[in-house]
Structure 1
Amino acid sequence: MNTKQLIEEAVSLPLEERAIVVDSLLRSLNQPESEIDKQWANEAKRRLSELRSGHIEAIPGNDVFSKVWDRFEK
């Protein structure tokens, strides 16, 4: 199977399976660094825990982006 055939075959897959193929290919290009990945996973878990406990309050994404755009427009 050549590259063109492989791409045609991949494009014909259902959406979820294409996403898995893309994710696998991207991961093969950019190998994760295990220690950094562990630190980010721990940070994500900590932030989720704070959010669920009510210790912090989520800010809607639209509000955040509005503030960013306001800063850059000045």
Structure 2
Amino acid sequence: MKVRDIPQIEQMNTWEKILFLEDLWDSIISDESNIPVIQSHKEELDARLNKYESNPENVLTMEELQQKINQRK
């Protein structure tokens, strides 16, 4: 479905569209169990969790990460 398929949306001003989008998003996330998770995403998350659990001290704080990012600039 496209926006052009719903003439009422095209008639809305920007602010009304934003409010509509917020309502639409709220309706989507109100039942997260209906949001499918792709198998490859599950596998990637499991791999990252396993990597962390096998070496939990090998992580950066937000401050350390910010420093590394700033050093690359």
TM-score by length of 2: 0.42
Quick check: which has more Rg, 1 or 2? 2
